[in-house]
């Protein structure tokens, strides 16, 4: 972040509270700590990260801290005793704890000569499941990463997130375009990809580079199976669009709880999820996983675009999406095209699920449902039923979510994207690339 | 297995505040979807508005309980206006996406630590009961028989819930046989035809959204009456469960939502008692009791699919009343 040389020498570091990472010591501390610390999610999750923010032994109230990682982003404020605690779902993993220096009194900052970013600490939750994180607080210059640097870092993260959303959104949009279904179960295809990767890598012990392609193949098979076993019979039966939408909701509920049945309610990490970040240029640093994820998304999207634009089947898909009756009259086998669309959508969604599992990071039974509305927002923004619109919409939504957390609290970052969804419907309901007649 | 206890719990669920709350929410949804044809997927948002409006006005502003109820219901009117004015002109599935997004925005706003002092963020709210319980005319003691034996506070919650439900049923029943209700059903059948007759379709839809929303918010208040409010309740799953209850009973009927909610909760309670007991008895050896609890939600999803495919009109409904079945 900000170069250490620019920072003026810190003087009079008056209080130094240590970091205790051993479980036993943490437990002992807890036994002594009063029960009225501001606690968030401590009833929800079994393990906890906590601490005490003090200056010269005087507690600091209303200091904001964010605990991030393994699928949670929790914001907590210290109470009158300067204490805080956050419940976390996992142990034997690390969480990053960020102290928001803007909420400290004037002229006070987190000071630590040994760290580039003293207001961010890694909290390793050990086997005991509890860890205490304290910051070195004293008078000094705040560690400020320039606004522009933060902006660039978020933008790059947002691009990564957006490409991942795009993989899911393209499928949702194609399915809507060709069949008219707002498929709420698409989120569960996303989770399915991640769960299959988990099955192949952890349960069967395959290497991750083998597990991911196998999971995506399973995703394609699931897409084929769902069309053959559910959607095609319903099409033949002539079931209405609204009914199909509600069926997809039922399917979504079923699949979601089936995942919970097998993997439980916790978060499980894939191998390699804790890869270190490598500084690239300026302040931007990405892990190998992040770079592979972005590269993979771009390659897959390019292949998909080529398929949609230049192959016979791709052209047929666009024709069906445009006007199914006309396409059928021109000799296109609409049923076959729809089958292919379901398979493509499921394949892209499962790949997106694998990437989402690394981005969050962690696999959870409702991980797909967490991004479903962002995907819907992206698809609506781009234009329902258009594949490339969905991609553009996803990148905008992904960047917006990441960048907006510069101004709004981290736990509200999805609100901005959902707000965009509502604003788009107000002023341009057909989206960026959509056509007016679709909106009815 | 202790069948007597299981049956007693199951019987008790017929009168539980959760059942009454689901019945009210499903009735509100019947006005939206069954009668007006609006695909509202944000019913959990309306319930959250009712519950939080009630609790916040009591805890933060010191209102009496009936003041809290009024705030909750007025909140639902405002939410319906904010939701309806931009979106009711759009096609049905857009409305579904917007309403589900709006409900999630609402939930995230109640969940964030930014407003912790008012909303209690992840911990939710509790301790808002004194005003409501002070108004209880029932003398202290335990009343009732069999599974339906409750103390005076529990009865007070249930009686007020039943009165609210009865009033809502009467309201919906009389509205739907009035000229207003016929116009609304006409909009559901063919919007353009009604517009051609000179009716303001948008205004009718907005009125339906408000009325159904207020009934659902009343459901949210009843849900909050017995114990506490937790933001984890008002997730999209709640919306889907209310939809299941509605479609089970019959979307375009007055009593369907009530019957649907009762059946939904009776089966849920039965399964939540029976499945873990079966695991303990070794009948279901391949799962743990936590998995057995998850299984009942899987069954809700399967039931929802089967109902919509094979009996979309529900138990009480008339298939001719359902234009969503093409």
Q: What is the pLDDT along chain A (440 residues), one digit of tens a residue?
A: 334 444 443 433 333 333 333 333 333 333 333 334 477 777 778 888 888 887 777 788 888 888 887 777 788 888 888 888 888 887 777 788 888 877 777 777 777 666 666 777 777 887 777 888 887 777 766 556 677 888 888 899 999 999 999 999 999 999 998 998 889 999 999 999 999 999 999 899 899 899 999 999 999 999 999 999 999 999 998 888 888 999 999 999 999 999 999 998 888 888 877 778 888 777 788 888 889 999 999 999 999 999 999 999 999 999 998 888 899 999 999 999 999 999 999 999 999 999 999 988 889 999 999 899 899 999 988 887 788 889 999 999 999 999 988 888 878 888 888 888 878 877 787 888 776 654 44
Q: Enter the pTM of the model.
A: 0.82
Dig out the tokens for A293 from the structure.
């994820």
Structure-token pair, residue A409:
């609290």
| pLDDT grade for B282, boundaries at 50, 70 and 90 | confident
pLDDT attached to residue A28: 38
Please tell me which of the candidates B87, B101, B294 has its beta carbon nearest to residue A418: B101
Q: Is A98 on the interface with B (CB under 8 A)?
A: no
CA-based nearest distance A3→chain B, Å: 31
Nearest to B163 by CA among B220, B242, B218: B218
**What is the percent of chain B with per-residue pLDDT over 70, rounded to a whole number?**
98
pLDDT at B1: 67
Is A48 strand, coil or helix? strand
CB contact under 8 A, A264 and B290: yes
Is the CB of residue B92 less than 8 Å away from at least one CB of chain A? yes
On whether any CB of chain B is under 8 Å from the CB of A242, the answer is: yes
Query: Tell me, what's the pLDDT at A1?
Result: 37
Q: Which pLDDT tens digit goes with each residue over B29-79?
A: 999 999 998 999 999 999 999 999 999 999 999 999 999 999 999 999 999
Cβ atoms A354, A212 nearer than 8 A: yes
Q: Is B178 left (phi over 0), alpha (psi -120 to 50) or beta?
A: beta
A41 versus B128: the higher-pLDDT residue is B128
Q: Which of residues 212-251 of B touch A (CB under 8 A)?
A: 232, 236-237, 240, 243-244, 247
Q: How many CB pairs under 8 A join A and B?
A: 157
Q: Which of B32, B93, B101, B245 is best to mutate for the A interface (most A CBs within 10 A)?
A: B101
Nearest-Cα distance to chain A for B86, in Å, is: 6
Q: Which residues are A15's β-sheet partners? A: A137
Report d(CA A20, CA A80) in Å as an integer.
Answer: 22
Domains of chain B are 3-321 (1.10.3470)
Domains A4-144 and A149-439 share a fold: no
pLDDT for A46: 81
Angle between helices B65-87 and A413-427 (to 10 degrees): 50
The reply to whether A409 touches chain B by the CB within 8 Å rule is yes
A229/B contact by beta carbon, under 8 A: no
Q: Do B90 and A429 contact (CB within 8 A), yes or no? A: yes
CB A365 within 8 A of CB A259: yes
Other CB atoms within 10 Å distance of the CB of residue B142: 10
Q: Is B290 on the interface with A (CB under 8 A)?
A: yes
Residues from chain B contacting residue A43 (CB–CB below 8 Å): 123
> Contact, B85 vs B27, CB < 8 A?
no
Residue A261 in contact with partner chain B when CB distance is under 8 A:
yes
Confidence of residue B86 (pLDDT cuts 50, 70, 90): confident
* Cβ separation A257–B298 shorter than 8 A: yes
Answer whether A241 touches B (CB < 8 Å): yes
d(CA A376, CA B97): 7
Q: Which residue from A minimizes the CA distance to B310?
A: A239
| More confident of the two residues A28 and B145 | B145
Name which of A269, A284, A2, A345 is nearest A160 in CA terms.
A284
Whether the Cβ atoms of residue A279 and residue A146 lie closer than 8 Å to each other: no
A283-A287-A292-A293 Cα dihedral, nearest 10 degrees: -80
What is the reported pLDDT for A17? 36
Instruction: Please report residues of B whose CB lies closer than 8 A to that of A421.
Output: 97-98, 101
Topology adopted by domain A149-439: ABC transporter involved in vitamin B12 uptake, BtuC (1.10.3470)
Does A422 contact B102 at a Cβ distance shorter than 8 Å?
yes
Cβ neighbourhood burial of B166 (10 Å; 0-12, 13-18, 19+): exposed
Identify the band that residue B277 occupies on the pLDDT scale cut at 50, 70 and 90. confident
In chain A, residues with a C-beta closer than 8 Å to the C-beta of B93 are: 182, 241-242, 245
For residue A369, give the nearest of A161, A183, A179 by alpha carbon.
A183
A350 and A393 Cβ atoms separated by less than 8 Å: no
Q: Do B94 and A422 touch (CB under 8 A)?
A: no
DSSP helix/strand/coil, A273:
coil
Please indicate if any CB of chain B lies within 8 Å of the CB of A238. yes
Q: Is A38 helix (H, G, I), strand (E, B) or coil?
A: strand
Strand order across the A130-132 sheet: A38-40, A83-88, A47-52, A130-132
Q: Where are the domains of chain A?
A: 4-144, 149-439
* Rounded Cα–Cα distance for residues A136 and A242 (Å): 58
- Cβ atoms < 10 Å from Cβ of A205: 8
Chain A residues whose beta carbon lies within 8 Å of the beta carbon of residue B96: 182, 245
**What's the rounded Cα separation, in Å, for the pair B27 and B48?**
16
Report which of residues B179 and A275 the model is more confident about. B179
The length of chain A in residues reads 440
What's the pLDDT tens digit per position in B98-114? Answer: 899 899 999 999 998 88
Which of B305, B306, B313 is most worth mutating to test chain A (most A CB atoms within 10 A of its CB)?
Answer: B305
Neighbour count for residue B215 (Cβ, 10 Å): 31
Specify whether the CB–CB gap between A274 and A146 falls below 8 A: no
ipTM: 0.91
More confident residue, B326 or B183: B183
Are the Cβ atoms of B113 and A240 closer than 8 angstroms?
Answer: no
What is the CB neighbour count within 10 angstroms for residue A379? 35
Phi-psi region of B229 (alpha: psi -120 to 50; beta: other; left: phi over 0): beta
Interfacial B residues in 107-166 facing A (CB < 8 Å)? 108-109, 111-114, 116, 121-123
Q: Name the residue among B32, B26, B50 with its Cα closest to residue B87.
A: B32
Contact A332, A319 (CB under 8 A): yes
The partner residues of A285 in beta bridges, in order of sequence, read A279
Architecture of the domain whose range is A4-144: Sandwich (2.60)
pLDDT of residue A144: 61
The full DSSP string for A289-329 is: HHHHHHHHHHHHHHHHHHHHHHSHHHHHHHHHHH-HHHHHH
Set of chain B residues whose Cβ sits within 8 Å of the Cβ of A40: 113, 121-123
Establish if A251 touches chain B: CB-CB under 8 angstroms.
Answer: yes
Tokens of A9: 């020498």
Asked whether the beta carbons of A17 and A138 are under 8 A apart, the reply is no
Q: Does A377 touch chain B (CB under 8 A)?
A: yes
């Amino acid at each position: 972040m900000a170069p250490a040389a620019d920072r003026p020498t810190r003087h009079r570091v008056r209080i130094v509270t240590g970091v205790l990472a051993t479980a036993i010591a943490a437990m002992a501390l807890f036994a002594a700590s009063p029960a009225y610390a501001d606690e968030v999610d401590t009833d929800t999750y079994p393990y906890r990260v906590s601490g005490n923010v003090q200056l010269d032994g005087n507690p600091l109230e209303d200091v904001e801290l964010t605990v991030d990682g393994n699928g949670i982003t929790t914001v907590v404020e210290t109470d009158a005793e300067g204490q805080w605690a956050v419940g976390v779902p996992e142990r034997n993993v690390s969480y990053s704890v960020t102290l928001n220096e803007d909420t400290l009194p004037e002229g006070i900052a987190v000071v630590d000569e040994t760290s580039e970013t003293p207001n961010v600490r890694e909290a390793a939750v050990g086997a005991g499941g509890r860890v205490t994180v304290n910051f070195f607080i004293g008078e000094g210059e705040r560690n400020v990463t320039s606004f522009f640097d933060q902006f660039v870092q978020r933008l790059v993260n947002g691009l990564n997130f957006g490409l991942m959303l795009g993989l899911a959104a393209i499928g949702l949009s194609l399915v809507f375009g060709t069949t008219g279904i707002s498929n709420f179960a698409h989120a569960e295809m996303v989770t399915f990809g991640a769960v299959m990767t988990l099955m192949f890598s952890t349960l069967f012990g395959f290497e991750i580079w083998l597990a991911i392609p196998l999971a995506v193949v399973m995703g394609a098979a699931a897409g084929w199976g769902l069309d053959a076993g559910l959607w095609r019979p319903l099409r033949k039966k002539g079931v209405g669009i609204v009914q199909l939408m509600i069926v997809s909701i039922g399917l979504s509920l079923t699949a979601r709880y089936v995942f919970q049945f097998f993997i439980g309610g916790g978060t499980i990490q894939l191998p390699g999820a804790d890869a270190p970040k490598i500084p690239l240029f300026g302040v931007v640093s990405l892990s190998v996983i992040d770079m592979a994820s972005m590269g993979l998304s771009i390659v897959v999207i390019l292949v998909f675009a080529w398929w949609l634009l230049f192959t016979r089947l791709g052209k047929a898909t666009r024709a069906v999406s445009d006007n199914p009756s006309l396409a059928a009259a021109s000799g296109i086998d609409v049923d076959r095209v729809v089958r292919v669309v379901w398979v493509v959508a499921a394949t892209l969604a499962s790949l997106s699920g694998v990437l989402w599992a690394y981005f969050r990071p962690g696999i959870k039974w409702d991980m797909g449902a967490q991004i479903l509305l962002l995907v819907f927002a992206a698809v609506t923004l781009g234009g329902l039923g258009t594949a490339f619109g969905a991609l553009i919409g996803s990148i905008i939504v992904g960047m917006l979510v990441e960048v907006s957390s510069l101004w709004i609290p981290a736990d509200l970052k999805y609100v901005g994207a959902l707000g965009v969804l509502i604003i788009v419907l107000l002023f341009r309901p057909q989206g960026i690339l959509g056509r007016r007649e679709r909106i009815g | 297995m202790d069948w007597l206890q299981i049956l007693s719990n199951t019987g008790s669920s017929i009168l539980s505040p959760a059942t009454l709350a689901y019945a009210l929410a499903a009735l509100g949804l019947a006005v939206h979807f069954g009668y007006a044809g609006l695909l509202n997927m944000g019913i959990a948002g309306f319930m959250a508005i009712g519950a939080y409006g009630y609790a916040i006005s009591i805890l933060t502003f010191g209102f009496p309980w009936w003041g809290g109820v009024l705030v909750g219901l007025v909140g639902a009117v405002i939410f319906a206006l904010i939701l309806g004015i931009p979106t009711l002109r759009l096609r049905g599935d857009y409305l579904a996406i917007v309403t589900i997004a709006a409900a999630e925005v609402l939930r995230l706003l109640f969940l964030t630590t930014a407003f912790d002092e008012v909303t209690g963020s992840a911990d939710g709210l509790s301790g808002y009961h004194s005003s409501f319980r002070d108004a209880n005319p029932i003398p202290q003691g335990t009343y009732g028989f069999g599974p339906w034996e409750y103390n005076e506070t529990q009865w007070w919650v249930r009686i007020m819930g039943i009165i609210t439900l009865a009033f809502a049923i009467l309201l919906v029943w009389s509205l739907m046989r009035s000229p207003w209700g016929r116009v609304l059903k006409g909009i559901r059948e063919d919007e353009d035809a009604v517009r051609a007759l000179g009716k303001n379709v948008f205004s009718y839809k907005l009125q339906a959204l408000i009325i159904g929303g207020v009934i659902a918010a009343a459901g949210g208040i009843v849900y909050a009456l017995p114990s506490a409010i937790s933001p984890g309740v008002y997730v999209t799953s709640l919306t889907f469960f209310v939809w299941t209850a509605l479609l089970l009973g019959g979307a375009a009927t007055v009593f369907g939502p009530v019957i649907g909610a009762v059946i939904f909760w009776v089966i849920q309670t039965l399964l939540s008692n029976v499945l873990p007991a079966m695991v303990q008895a070794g009948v279901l050896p391949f799962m743990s009791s936590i998995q057995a609890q998850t299984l009942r939600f899987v069954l809700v999803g399967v039931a929802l699919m089967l109902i919509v495919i094979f009996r979309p009109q529900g138990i009480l409904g008339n298939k001719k009343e359902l234009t969503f079945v093409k």
